[in-house]
């Protein structure tokens, strides 16, 4: 042995001893940590943190992040370890059984002890088995139902094929005999039926053998077949769908789509339908939720009005009804039509009564406007300035007894004596009363109110057209603010005493609803935003209106930073929006706050101020 070998040998022995000593020390340290619960928890926490840190750095990969080869290797390793663990556990159980045989018998464990001794893995396995069993039962049930449906469908088509094959095999004489079974007909009818069957069979055979069956179809089918509605029957003969159209199908679809858009836009106008303000007044179809609208007139009257406005469209009444959107519905008995215009309603009540008495032909106020104006109703016609129709008057159907009495209803404003706190006071009340008069007086009253009513209709149409034009032509510098006061909100307590519940002690909150229309610069489309301001004060005067509008103006500046032209739309009550104080505040306060170049305030006609803000009030 060399000197070098003698030097190396002791050093190797020392290293081996050192490693064994170190191993024993680490075992003792781990055992000490395991025996101390606090230190054991701290060690586990450090180990978890170290694991998560290594995982974050990418030193440890999860199974999903590994390649397919690595996944196979690691799963193989898991299986080997699991096998080794269960074999060692089994050996331990065998050793325990041998020791139990040599040792004296121990008392048998009770049912509760047996349950506790069950392994956690076994319990989990039972739970999983039960859940899988339930899931598979449901799956089997659904598959059985599906199989039944498919079998039923297959049987149906099988039977249909069998019948068609049997009929194909039938000769024309047998077909006629089957049709006339149990019936007596003349030889002429029988001969014609036989001729029909022969021709049908011959045409079918020719079409099947011909290279271009379209030529045979074109030579047989035409306008007469379409007129008598035998296209479907001819389709059964040729076993294909037959369409006779003057234009391409795509053109017809495009025309129908445009017509549908026109009908929807027309029926969504405020003059054609009114929006229901309630939160639950919605209609849902095919997961499309829309706010309900109620038609202001019958579909027939609206169809006539639609044709007068859209003369370029050729649309039948049935197609017009079919294209009506699902959220625009005729009014129901439960739908109360509130906030009506008194001028329109009184004319409507008087006109309908005169029509019932067979005095005039017109039934509604719209019929009166159409009969007294030109075919294309315009503002000149309604203002009675048109040279063609200004001299037109309502003419009775024929002679009638003018002195005969007639009773009709009318909305009237009258002073009524009311007792308030023991004192008699006169208050104005609006009531619906029965008016008794002669037929001639009723007819003369209608004639005297016609001019005023026509001017009122002209104002309504002009305002609606103006507001629609403003909405249509909005730019990034324009904004339209539609405002209105909602009904005061009555506050309630979760638990109330009787005198509060039935008395007038409940506080109220003023609701001022606003809808802002603006042009979105990104999509160049008109958008709207709804707001509602609340205040404990019940004032509705100009000062309160400005206080309600100030936070809205701040929001308008945010959504439309470059606003220059402002349009405000409201109804026209003299105590709120239309008075000298409001005009003063418009010119001095609101324009300074808005910092705009032009400021326009639009007032709606009396009785026609309902709009989008009322929907905000219904939802708030």
Supply the DSSP string of 393-425, one letter for each residue. Answer: ----SS---TTSEEEEEEEEEEEEEEEETTEEE
Residues 349 and 313 placed together within one structural domain of the fold: no
| Structural contact between residues 372 and 366, judged by C-beta atoms closer than 8 angstroms | no
Question: If you count them, how many residues does the chain have?
Answer: 620
Among 329, 363, 391, the domain boundary falls at 329
SS3 248: coil
**Residue 549 in domain:** yes
Q: Which two tokens stand for residue 614?
A: 């009322």
Same domain, 520 and 609: yes
Q: What is the DSSP string of 285-341?
A: ETTEEEE-EEESS-HHHHHHHHHHH-TT----HHHHHHTS-TTEEPPPSS----S--
**Statement: residue 367 has pLDDT above 80:** yes
C-alpha to C-alpha distance for 457 and 614, rounded to whole angstroms: 22
User: Phi, psi at residue 570, to the nearest 5°?
Assistant: -150, 170
The SS3 of residue 527 is: strand
What pLDDT is attached to residue 516? Answer: 92
Taking the alpha carbons at both ends of the chain, their separation in whole angstroms is: 103
Q: What does the pLDDT average to over 340-361?
A: 88
Q: For residue range 115-172, list pLDDT tens digits in order.
A: 444 567 787 788 888 888 888 998 999 999 999 999 999 998 988 888 777 766 778 8
Name the more confident of 231 and 83. Answer: 83
Within-domain flag for 588: yes
Q: Encoding tokens for residue 71? A: 């996944």
CA distance 597 to 510: 31
Helix pair angle (231-238, 187-209), 10° resolution: 60
Q: Report if residue 201 sits inside a domain.
A: no
Show the tokens assigned to 571. 């109804």
Q: Residue 8 pLDDT more than 50?
A: no
480 vs 137: CA distance, rounded Å: 62
538: domain CATH number?
A: 3.30.420.10
Rounded Cα–Cα distance for residues 463 and 465 (Å): 5
Q: What is the pTM of this model?
A: 0.56
Q: pLDDT confidence of 515, banded at 50, 70, 90?
A: very high
Instruction: Return mean pLDDT, the chain.
Output: 83
pLDDT at 514: 92
Query: How crowded is residue 546: how many other Cβ atoms within 10 Å of its Cβ?
Result: 17
**SS3 assignment for 565-612:** EEEEEECCCCCCCCCHHHHHHHHHHHHHHHCCCEEEEEECCCCCCCCH
Question: Of 13, 35, 64, which closes a domain?
Answer: 64
537 or 233, which is more confident? 537
Confidence tier at 488 by pLDDT (50, 70, 90)? confident
Kindly state the tokens that stand for 197.
């069957």
Instruction: Quote the pLDDT of residue 113.
Output: 47
Residue with tokens 């339209």: 480
Phi-psi region of 384 (alpha: psi -120 to 50; beta: other; left: phi over 0): left
| C-alpha–C-alpha distance, residues 221 and 230, integer Å | 9
R_g of the chain computed on alpha carbons? 45
Q: Which of 276, 298, 329 is the last residue of a domain?
A: 329
Do the domain assignments include residue 530? yes
- Summarised one tens digit per residue, pLDDT across range 388-445 is 888 888 888 888 888 888 998 999 888 888 887 788 888 888 888 888 989 898 889 8
For residue 438, what are the β-bridge partners?
Answer: 405
Task: Write the DSSP assignment of 271-288 as a string of letters.
Answer: TTEEE--STT-EEEETTE
Q: Are residues 385 and 304 in the same domain?
A: no
pLDDT band at residue 204, thresholds of 50, 70 and 90? confident
236 in a domain, yes or no?
Answer: no
- Average pLDDT in the 32-52 region? 89
81 in any annotated domain:
no
What is the per-residue pLDDT for 10? 53
Q: Which token pair is 339?
A: 């906030």
Quick one: 299 and 363 in the same domain?
Answer: no
481 and 561, same domain (yes or no): yes
Asked if residue 7 has pLDDT above 50, the reply is: no
Give pLDDT, residue 363: 87
> What pLDDT score does 110 carry?
52
Residue at 519 is within a domain? yes
Residue 316, token pair as written in the block: 């039948």
Residue partners of 201: CB distance under 8 A and separation at least 6: 172
- From residue 455, alpha-carbon distances to 83, 382, 421, 446 in Å are 98, 6, 44, 15
Residue 330 has pLDDT above 80, yes or no: yes
Contact between residue 438 and residue 404 where contact means Cβ atoms under 8 Å apart: yes
On whether the CB atoms of residues 477 and 521 are closer than 8 A, the answer is: no
Q: Is the pLDDT of residue 61 over 90?
A: no
User: According to the model, what pLDDT value does residue 4 have?
Assistant: 45
Same domain, 387 and 357: yes
| Per-residue model confidence (pLDDT) at position 1 | 45
37 occurs within a structural domain: yes
Shared-domain flag, residues 322 and 385: no
Report pLDDT for 3.
Answer: 45
The answer to whether residues 261 and 315 touch, using CB atoms and an 8 Å cutoff, is no
Decide if pLDDT at 589 tops 60.
yes
Q: Does 489 lie in the same domain as 612?
A: yes
Inter-residue contact 531 to 513 (CB < 8 Å):
yes
Domain identity same for 325 and 365? no
Same-domain pairing of 484 and 588: yes
Measure the CA–CA gap between 518 and 559, rounded to whole angstroms.
8
Same domain, yes or no, for 387 and 296?
A: no
Rounded distance between C-alpha atoms, residue 325 and residue 272, angstroms: 13
For residues 531, 532, 535, 540, the Cα torsion angle rounded to the nearest 10 degrees is: 100
The total number of structural domains that make up the chain: 5
Per-residue pLDDT, averaged over 463-472, amounts to 88
In a shared domain, residues 485 and 605? yes
> Which of 22-31, 102-111, 210-219, 568-577 is least confident?
102-111
Domain enclosing residue 282, as ranges: 249-329
Whether 582 and 564 have beta carbons less than 8 Å apart is answered as no
Task: Return d(Cα 156, Cα 436) in angstroms, integer.
Answer: 70
* Strand runs labelled E in 43-107: none
Instruction: Identify whether the C-beta of residue 447 lies closer than 8 Å to the C-beta of residue 480.
Output: no
Q: pLDDT tens digits, residue range 368-393?
A: 888 888 877 888 888 888 888 888 88
């Amino acid at each position: 042995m060399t000197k070098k070998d003698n030097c190396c040998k002791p050093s190797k022995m020392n290293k081996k001893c050192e490693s064994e000593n170190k191993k024993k020390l680490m075992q003792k340290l781990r055992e000490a940590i395991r025996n101390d619960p606090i230190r054991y928890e701290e060690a586990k926490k450090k180990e978890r943190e170290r694991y998560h840190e290594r995982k974050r750095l990418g030193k440890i990969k999860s199974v999903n992040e590994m390649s397919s080869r690595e996944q196979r290797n690691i799963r193989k390793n898991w299986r080997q370890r699991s096998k080794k663990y269960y074999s060692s556990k089994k050996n331990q159980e065998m050793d325990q059984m041998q020791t139990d045989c040599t040792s004296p018998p121990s008392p048998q464990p009770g049912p509760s002890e047996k349950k506790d001794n069950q392994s956690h893995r076994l319990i989990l396995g039972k739970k999983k088995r039960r859940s899988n069993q339930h899931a598979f039962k449901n799956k089997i049930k659904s598959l059985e139902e599906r199989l039944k449906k498919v079998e039923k469908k297959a049987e149906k088509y099988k039977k249909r094929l069998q019948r068609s094959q049997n009929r194909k095999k039938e000769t024309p004489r047998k077909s006629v005999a089957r049709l006339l079974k149990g019936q007596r007909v003349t030889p002429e009818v029988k001969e014609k039926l036989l001729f029909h069957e022969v021709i049908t069979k011959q045409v079918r055979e020719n079409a099947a053998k011909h290279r271009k069956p379209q030529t045979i179809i074109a030579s047989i089918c035409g306008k007469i077949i379409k007129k008598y509605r035998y296209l479907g029957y001819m389709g059964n003969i040729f076993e294909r769908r037959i369409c006779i159209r003057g234009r391409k199908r795509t053109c017809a679809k495009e025309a129908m789509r445009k017509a549908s858009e026109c009908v929807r836009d027309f029926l969504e106008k405020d003059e054609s339908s009114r929006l229901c303000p309630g939160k639950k007044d919605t209609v849902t179809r095919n997961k499309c939720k829309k706010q309900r609208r109620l038609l202001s007139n019958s579909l027939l009257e609206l169809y006539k009005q639609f044709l007068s406005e859209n003369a370029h469209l050729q649309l039948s009444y049935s197609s017009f009804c079919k294209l009506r959107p699902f959220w625009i519905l005729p009014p129901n008995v439960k739908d109360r039509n509130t906030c009506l215009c008194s001028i329109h309603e009184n004319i409507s009540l008087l006109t309908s009564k005169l029509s019932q008495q067979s005095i005039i032909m017109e039934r509604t106020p719209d019929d009166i406007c159409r009969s007294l104006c030109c075919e294309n109703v315009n503002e000149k016609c309604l203002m009675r300035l048109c040279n063609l129709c200004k001299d037109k008057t309502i003419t009775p159907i024929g002679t009638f007894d003018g002195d005969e009495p007639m009773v009709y209803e009318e909305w009237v404003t009258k002073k009524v004596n009311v007792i308030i706190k023991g004192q008699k006071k006169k208050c104005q009340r609006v009531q619906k009363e029965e008016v008794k008069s002669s037929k001639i007086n009723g007819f003369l009253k209608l004639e005297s109110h016609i001019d005023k009513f026509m001017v009122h209709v002209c104002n309504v149409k002009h305002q609606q057209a103006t507001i629609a034009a403003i909405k249509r032509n909005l730019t990034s510098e324009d904004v339209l603010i539609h405002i209105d006061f909602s009904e005061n909100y009555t506050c309630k307590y979760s638990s109330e005493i009787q005198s509060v519940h039935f008395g007038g002690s409940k506080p109220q909150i003023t609701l001022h609803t606003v809808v802002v229309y603006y042009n979105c610069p990104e999509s160049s489309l008109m958008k709207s935003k709804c707001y509602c301001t609340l205040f404990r004060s019940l004032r509705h005067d100009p000062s309160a209106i400005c206080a309600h509008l100030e936070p809205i103006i701040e929001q308008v500046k945010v959504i439309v930073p470059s606003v220059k032209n402002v349009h405000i739309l409201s109804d026209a009550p003299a105590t709120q929006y239309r008075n000298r104080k409001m005009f003063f505040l418009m010119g001095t306060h609101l324009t300074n706050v808005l910092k705009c170049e032009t400021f326009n305030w639009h007032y709606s006609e009396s009785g026609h101020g309902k709009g989008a803000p009322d929907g905000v009030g219904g939802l708030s």
